[in-house]
């Protein structure tokens, strides 16, 4: 590595899922026992989801982050002590503070790295990756661990069929390292707080009690419309910054919310679905974990390899969105 390195590159990936896999028929039975009617066909047709994973027992946001981080570090050939920056993207932290990143640092046995969480809901991993890249470019870090980890099953209202069939739990991680060659080519993140009400979990702890609605609430049509619009615009913006066209993309790794959103963005970019990494079928929507989970799967099965141009995209509550364009070097 050159002493004048001013770029970052992706080194390794990792992911982790809880032990409990829940198929649509199993979820259908679970909900029927609570008086909520749905079906495998209804879920598949509207979302593309076939199964998801739910945390149970002592599985937590931190423990899933730890498992994913260990795999990413192993893939990179790093020890935990090599990291000087740890960022965790999550909306379902195990506690108010310390941050999940600090708790992860403790489990890893790292000492001295800067640690903090990023809360941008389903865009969180893209936000965190953009921040890590900026800190490396600024010379504030050399080796960064970036994790997305969620246990959304614990904020589901099991009486709300429109949301409880969508989400699952999991974690994904990447490592980024300073480089004299650009791995991350361009990134941009955005938000529109005036749309905060279309996807939110507004409950809070006050005076030792839970105030407000503690469950996730979503305006499905509003989220769908915004997601398709901003993801297409975001992709074009980042491609323009990198001086590239969409047909130069080898892979699109978008937030895994709904197969219809993925298909719509694919059409907008003129990119065949064969070049869109889709894991929504087996994972459901895992919020900030969805992009790194999908990325790790595609790296490990050989679809994404050295030399490929890959775009990562997130969109979620806030309303937030963003894209990161990288070259695998």
Q: What is the 3-state secondary structure (H, E, C) of the chain?
A: CCCCCCEEEEEEEEEECCCEEEEHHHHHHHHHCCCCCCCHHHHHHHHCCCEEEECCCCCCHHHHHHHHHHHHHHHHCCCHHHCCEEEEECCCCCCCCCCHHHHHHHHHCCCCCEEEEECCHHHHHHHHHHHHHHHHHCCCCCEEEEEEEEEHHHHCCCCCHHHHCCECEEEEEEEEEEECCCCEEEEEEEECHHHHHHEECCCEEECCEEECCCCCEECHHHHHHHHHHHHHHHHHHHHHHHCCCHHHCCEEEECCCCHHHHHHHHHHHCCCHHHECCCHHHHCECHHHHHHHHHHHHHHCCCCCCCCEEEEEEEECCCEEEEEEEECC
Domains 7-179 and 184-327 share a fold: yes
pLDDT for residue 101: 99
Q: Tell me the fold of 7-179.
A: Peroxisomal Thiolase; Chain A, domain 1 (3.40.47)
- Is residue 2 scored above 60 in pLDDT? no
- Is residue 98 scored above 70 in pLDDT? yes
- Residue 81 Cα distances to 73, 89, 115, 176, angstroms: 10, 21, 13, 14
Point out the catalytic residue in the list 83, 122, 164, 200.
122
Structure tokens at 215: 């469950």
Q: For 56-86, write each residue's pLDDT tens digit.
A: 999 999 999 999 999 999 999 999 999 999 9
Residue 137 and residue 144: Cα distance in Å, rounded?
12
Q: What are the extents of the domains in the chain?
A: 7-179, 184-327
> Which residue reads 């994972």 in tokens?
283
Catalytic residue check, 122: yes
Q: For 108-137, write each residue's pLDDT tens digit.
A: 999 999 999 999 999 999 999 999 999 999
Buried b (16+ CB within 10 A) or exposed e, 56-75: eeebbbbbbbbbbbbbbbeb
Contact 125, 149 (CB under 8 A): no
**Cβ neighbours for 38, distance < 8 A, ≥ 6 positions apart:** 27, 28, 31, 161, 165
> Which residue reads 């809901």 in tokens?
121
Average pLDDT over residues 249-262: 97
pLDDT for residue 136: 98
pLDDT for residue 210: 87
Residue in 248, 250, 251, 252 with CA at minimum distance from that of residue 262: 252
pLDDT for residue 1: 43
**Cβ neighbours for 294, distance < 8 A, ≥ 6 positions apart:** 172, 253, 256, 277, 278, 279, 283
pLDDT for residue 10: 98
Model confidence at 270, pLDDT cuts 50, 70, 90, reads very high
Catalytic residue check, 255: yes
pLDDT for residue 44: 97
- Is residue 277 scored above 60 in pLDDT? yes
pLDDT for residue 5: 65
Residue 213 neighbours by CB distance under 10 Å? 13
Point out the catalytic residue in the list 24, 115, 285, 309.
285
pLDDT for residue 251: 98
Model confidence at 3, pLDDT cuts 50, 70, 90, reads low
Q: For 155-192, write each residue's pLDDT tens digit.
A: 999 999 999 999 999 999 999 999 999 999 999 999 99
Domain made up of 184-327: CATH architecture: 3-Layer(aba) Sandwich (3.40)
Point out the catalytic residue in the list 110, 115, 255, 283.
255
Average pLDDT over residues 41-64: 97
Contact 326, 184 (CB under 8 A): yes
Model confidence at 208, pLDDT cuts 50, 70, 90, reads confident
% of the chain at pLDDT higher than 70: 98
- pLDDT mean across residues, the chain: 97
Model confidence at 195, pLDDT cuts 50, 70, 90, reads very high
């Amino acid at each position: 590595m050159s002493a004048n390195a001013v770029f970052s590159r992706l080194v390794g990936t990792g992911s982790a899922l809880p032990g409990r896999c829940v198929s649509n028929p199993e979820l259908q039975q679970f909900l029927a026992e609570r008086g909520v009617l749905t079906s495998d066909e209804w879920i598949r047709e509207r979302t593309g989801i076939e199964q998801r994973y739910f945390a149970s027992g002592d599985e937590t946001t931190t423990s899933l982050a730890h498992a994913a981080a260990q795999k990413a570090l192993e893939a990179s050939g790093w020890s935990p002590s090599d990291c000087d920056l740890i960022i965790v993207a999550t909306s379902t932290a195990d506690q108010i503070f310390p941050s999940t990143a600090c708790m992860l640092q403790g489990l890893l046995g790292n000492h001295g790295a800067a640690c903090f969480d990023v809360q941008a809901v389903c865009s969180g991993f893209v936000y965190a990756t953009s921040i890590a890249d900026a800190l490396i470019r600024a010379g504030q870090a050399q080796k960064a661990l970036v994790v997305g980890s969620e246990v959304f099953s614990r904020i589901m209202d099991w009486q709300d069929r429109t949301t409880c069939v969508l989400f699952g739990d999991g974690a994904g991680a990447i490592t980024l390292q300073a480089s004299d060659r650009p791995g991350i080519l361009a990134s941009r993140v955005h938000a529109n707080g005036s749309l905060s009400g279309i996807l939110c979990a507004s409950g809070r702890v006050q005076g030792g009690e839970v105030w407000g609605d503690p469950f996730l609430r979503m305006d499905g049509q509003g989220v769908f419309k915004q997601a398709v619009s901003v993801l297409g615009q975001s992709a074009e913006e980042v491609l323009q910054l990198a001086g590239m066209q969409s047909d130069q993309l080898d892979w699109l790794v978008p937030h895994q919310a709904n197969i219809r959103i993925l298909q719509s963005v694919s059409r907008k970019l003129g990119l065949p679905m064969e070049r869109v990494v889709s894991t929504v079928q087996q994972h459901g929507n895992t919020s900030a974990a969805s992009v790194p989970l999908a990325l790790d799967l595609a790296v490990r099965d050989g679809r994404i390899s050295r030399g490929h141009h890959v775009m990562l995209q997130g969109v979620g509550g806030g309303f937030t969105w963003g894209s990161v364009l990288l070259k695998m070097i």
